[in-house]
Amino acid sequence: MNSLDFSIVVQAWPYLWLGLVFSLALTAAAFLIGMILGTLFALVQHFEVPVAGRLVRAYIALIRSIPLILVLFWFFFLVPIVLGHLSGTGRPVPIGANWTAFITFGLFEAAYYSEIIRVGLRAVNRGQFEACQALALSTFHTYRCVILPQVLRVASPIILSQTIILFQDTSLVYVLSLTDLLGAASKLAQLNGRLVEMYVVVALVYLGISSAASQWVASLRKRYAMAGTRR
């Protein structure tokens, strides 16, 4: 332990910071894509749209049954080949590692956010729908102005918990040779031989961000629990 030298981390921090920014950007983009698509998927199932509902359920079942790293490989290697055949050239259409990461993470998280929103929709009191009908609100305004805001508010602790997992999963982009926080630390560790120092600092960064987010989740749970008892 006496041979540890964390000064190398200070010198390398600008590069590590770029990796952290990429991880946070990927998390934010995947969260937005996942929430938008996930909400649409949940509504399709909620309204029991005949064909689309079955396709969505099959998609969610597939995505939740396979690891994310396998989906990354599928998208990176297979989709260019499929696009090449569809274009008629027969040659793979390169997508790139960045597009692969952002699209794959968004589509993958959509399956998980969809299930969270779907369960939230089922938990809404039937009286809310009857009240909207009594006010002559359209279906669109009922869900946009009344139902979905309640679902998102109540489900926000679970949504944030899934987002914490998403942030931790961004480290998987190393398989695409992208420079996220862990990837940046790995490259620097291989150059200067300071594996322990680099990985300890990265672990502390992940711990700090995840712990802060977890405390936020706990405070939201407590707040909504107190609001529920007052009612």
pTM of the model: 0.87
Contact predicate 36/159, CB 8 Å: no
DSSP helix/strand/coil, 120 = helix
Token reading at 128 = 């809310």
**All structural domains of the chain with their residue ranges:** 7-230
Q: Which of 95, 100, 114, 130 is nearest to 34 (CA)?
A: 114
Q: Give the CATH H-level superfamily of domain 7-230.
A: MetI-like (1.10.3720.10)
Contact predicate 147/161, CB 8 Å: no
Q: Per-residue pLDDT tens, the chain, 231 aa: give them.
A: 457 667 777 888 888 899 999 999 999 999 999 999 999 999 999 998 889 999 999 999 999 999 999 999 989 988 888 888 887 777 888 888 999 999 999 999 999 999 999 998 888 888 888 888 888 888 888 888 888 888 888 888 889 899 999 999 999 998 888 989 988 888 888 887 778 888 888 899 999 999 998 888 888 777 766 555 455
Q: Which phi and psi angles does 95 have, rounded to 5°?
A: -105, -40
How far does Cα 130 stand from its chain's mean position? 34
